[in-house]
Structure 1
Amino acid sequence: MPLNHSSHPAGSGVVMTLMPVIAAVLVGFIIIGVALPVLPLHVENGLGYGTFIVGLVAGAQFAASLISRIWSGSYSDRRGAKKGVVAGLIAAAAAGLLYMVSLWVINLPALSAGILMAGRAILGGAESFIITGAVAWGLALVDKAHAGKVIAWVGTAMFAAMALGGPVGTVLYGAFGFKAIALITLLLPLLVLVYLSRMPAVAPHPHADHASFGSVMKAVWLPGLGAALASTGYCTILAFSSLYYSAMHWQPVWMAFTAFGIALIVARTFAGHLPDRFGGARIALIFVLVQAAGLFLMWYARTPLTASAGAAFAGFGYSLVYPGLGIEAISGATPQSRGMVMGIYTAFLDVAMAVGSPALGWVGGHLGLDNIFLAGALAVLSTAIVAVLLLRRSALRKAHAS
């Protein structure tokens, strides 16, 4: 039964209220995470294809995610955020079924790879519906004063799931092959659907006047740009830290990513309320300086301990940049357009990952791996300019209102 706004919980009940949303995001990103490290192995060893086909199969998910962002936001606004999450979970299960079908025709590698690519594309669309619907659902379930907590907790669930999914996927693939990945992708979303069936929905806005894409983009582009620049720093660690550690003969090679993720989760657990209390742009400005300092430390590092400490600082700083700027993105949004706002806002991160990774790779190829972290630090530091502009914009609005 849809909730009305009088049902919003007080601050102490926010996390419990968000549990169904967090569960959906955890599952959505665990099934993405379990496939990431083993998909190239399956395509290369199981199907006999090279890196180009590996790239096509893996990239199908990210392309579909970007393309479906705005559609998923509009769907959540018009049909209801919970229905958006449910649609995403059903699509995720369908992707798992396609994974299974691709294994049934593995003796026809071209057909198997095509079906697998279709499954990846459907999973990309599912991810859009799950994350966009989850944020819109969470924002509607709690008071507007807790918007930062919603974005922070949903993001924490996403990072935790990705961190957990990789090791789990590697172990399962080693023990049972790609069939285990397919079964998890098929069954986990169905289990969460059962859990969500009795959870409260929020009223959709099927007949409301929705903001145009242009008006939403006008409000979102500046915080979205800031989030994209800050996420370039995340790209440096996600895509290049293990390669850098390996080149420097530092062990274990995954330490930077682990330090980044742990620091991010700790920061959001204990400081996730700060953007709501002190303002999104102000907190983003402070924390982005910490993130940049961490990346500068990684660039300067001469030992794995120093580099890992830098990664931890980067994770701690990045932790509240995304929710802080997210608050700025939704500050002027009406309830009936929050899904579209978050869809467009999240699309900026997709673009950052798609453009930032090859750009940073070019830097590493021409200037050395360590300079990837210098370039990332400079990109992150430019987010401070965006935060200052947002603070000025907020001050002008207050001046005009008075």
Structure 2
Amino acid sequence: MSHPSTPSASSPASAPASAPTSGRHPAQGRLLLLAAVLFISYLCVGMSLPVVPVFVTGRLGLGNAWAGLGVGIAFLATVATRAHAGNLSDRRGAKPAVARGLLFYVAGALVSLFAGLPFLAPWTGFAVLLAGRLLIGLGESLVAVGVIGWGIGLVGPARSGHVLALVGAAIYGALAVGGPIGLALFARFGFAGTMAFGAALPALGLLAIWRLDGVPVHAGAQRPSFWRVVGSIGWHGAVVCLQGIGFAAIGAFFALHFLDRGWGHAGLGLTAFGSGFVLVRVLFGHLPDRVGGLPVAIGSLVVETLGQALIWRADGPVLALAGAFLTGLGCSMIFPAMGREVVRLVQPHLRGAALGGFSAFQDIAYGLTGPLAGLLADRAGYGNVFLVGTGSAGLGLLVALFLRRAQRRDGAGRS
């Protein structure tokens, strides 16, 4: 068996795959339906991102580091479960992975609901909140990996960049509208009411996929260990890890930064980020498949670095929102661009494991940024959190340039 990072020319990973078209919907129609399901269910996550830190620091009266942990622990849970999600998608099928993930979303939102009950002591409420966030993190791991594997199975690996771009547009579109919706629900119905709405949305997703056809699995294929697969795409994962710090900083601390400065429209940070993100996905989602993943990632990291620096140096809400918008523009294509490179490196029966491991690098950024940046915010202010985001995006740019140089060198050696 060939190493997962070096498929042979005759490997199924390098051959054009014919997308299945049987069933009730054509392949593209089913892909769009999956993206809609992902959007609706991911509102469960998007609504909670700005609400959790406000709830933890306000209602529970705990510090910024605990608020960051409340946000980040869900992403840390995805790191711990990406291997399970990828292996489940590869061995049992993408549809069972998505269905289980949606069930965990519902359970996590319902558990989180109890943290907002008024008779609970602050630390008890926080412990309940963490339990709910862990379940939501497990759900996110299963849903994201399952939808990506399901989508690539529908349209073929040659359009993997398109699938990843569409998946990201659904996720960050949900983040863009979820932030202000979550804050509005929080103001009207409190934390428990917001979580009740969050539980209803993935339940709708379950109904939508109930009769949707899945895609076949590669039964009986030899599989190296998950860690061997992850090792073959480690540098690509490092790029998405470093770019993810900027988004995580916006998700956890942008609203608190605005409130600390006395600026209005605190809930628009994720909206500005998500608007830029979705705009690029809609207009330029084809670029990784057309020009290659690394050139797209390099240009995107330059823009993200500028956006984070603008938030850091902003002396008013307009510039800070412009920085969030630029960060969204920059972050938009990095995951699908690098994910396309990952899909090209592995064989089809390892795709779920590879994408699960690849996604885990981004989860690490999301999970660790919250609590660590919270400690920094306590000591140096919220603005310096975005200085860290600036440096991280710049370092990701250097890694992407290194990979591009190695790619060109390998291409020259084969010619």
Same fold (TM over 0.5): yes
Aligned equivalent of 1:189: 202
User: Is residue 2:218 matched to residue 1:198?
Assistant: no
Amino acid of the structure 1 residue aligned with 2:290: R
CA contact (8 A) 1:28 1:130 kept: no
**Does the 8 A contact of 1:298 with 1:308 survive in 2?**
yes
Identify the residue that residue 348 of structure 1 maps to in structure 2: 361
Amino acid aligned to 1:194? L
Q: 1:394 to 1:169 in 2, by over 3 A?
A: same
Which residue does the alignment assign to 1:220?
A: 233
| 1:162 shift after superposition | 2.4
Aligned residues of 1:24 and 1:85 also touching (Cα < 8 A): no
Aligned partner (choices 211, 216, 220) of residue 224 of structure 2: 211
Distance 2:370 2:115 in 1: 31
TM-score by length of 2: 0.82
Alpha carbons of structure 1 residues 241 and 172: separation in structure 2 relative to 1, 3 Å: closer
1:283 aligns with 2:296: yes
Does the alignment pair 1:398 with 2:411?
yes
**What's the offset of the Cα at 1:8?**
5.1
* Residues 53 and 208 (structure 1), Cα distance of their counterparts in 2 relative to 1, 3 Å cut: same
* Shift of residue 66, structure 1, vs aligned partner: 2.0
Match of 1:328 among 341, 344, 349: 341
User: Deviations for 1:333-367, whole angstroms, at most 9, x for unmatched residues?
Assistant: 11111111111111111211233344445555555
SS in 2 for 1:201: coil
Matched, 1:34 2:11: no
Q: Amino acid of the residue matched to residue 163 of structure 2? A: V
2:180–2:267 contact (8 Å) kept in structure 1: no
Equivalent residue, structure 2, for 1:337: 350
Q: Which residue of 2 aligns with 1:384?
A: 397
The answer for the alignment partner of 2:107 in structure 1 is 94
Structure 1 residues 292-301 or 356-365, which shifts more? 356-365
- 2:19 corresponds in structure 1 to 7
1:166 shift after superposition = 3.1
Closer/same/farther in 2, CA of residues 60 and 287 from structure 1, 3 Å limit: closer
Indicate the residue corresponding to 1:158 in structure 2: 171
Q: Partner of 1:21 in structure 2?
A: 34
C-alpha deviations, 1:357-384, integer Å up to 9, x for none?
4444555555554443333222211222
Tell me if the contact between 2:229 and 2:354 (Cα under 8 Å) persists in the aligned partners: yes
1:153-195 CA deviation, whole Å, 9 max, x = no partner? 1112111212323333333344444554454344333322222
* CA distance 1:241–1:195, shift in 2 (3 Å): closer
Give distance in 2, aligned partners of 1:176 and 1:367.
34
Amino acid at match of 2:337: G
**Aligned equivalents of 2:112 and 2:389: distance in 1?**
36
Distance 1:175 1:142, change over 3 A: same
Letter in 2 for 1:136: G
**What is the identity, as a one-letter code, of the residue corresponding to 2:282?**
T
Percent identity (aligned): 32
Could you tell me how far apart the structure 2 residues matched to 1:45 and 1:291 are?
Answer: 31
In 2, the alpha carbon distance for the partners of 1:397 and 1:22 equals 36
Offset from partner CA, 1:301-346 (integer Å, 9 cap, x none): 3443333323322211111112111212222111111111111111
| Cα distance, 1:288 vs structure 2 | 1.0
Would you say the 8 A contact 1:106–1:112 is kept in 2?
A: no
Q: Could you say what secondary structure the match of 1:208 adopts?
A: coil
* Root mean square deviation of aligned Cα: 3.3
CA distance in 2, matches of 1:379, 1:312: 18
**1:121–1:205 Cα change, 3 Å:** same
**Partners of 1:333 and 1:6 in 2: how far apart?**
18
Unaligned ranges ≥5, structure 2: 1-15
The aligned residue for residue 285 of structure 2 is 272
Distance 1:290 1:83, change over 3 A: same
Structure 1 residue 200, shift from structure 2 partner: 2.3
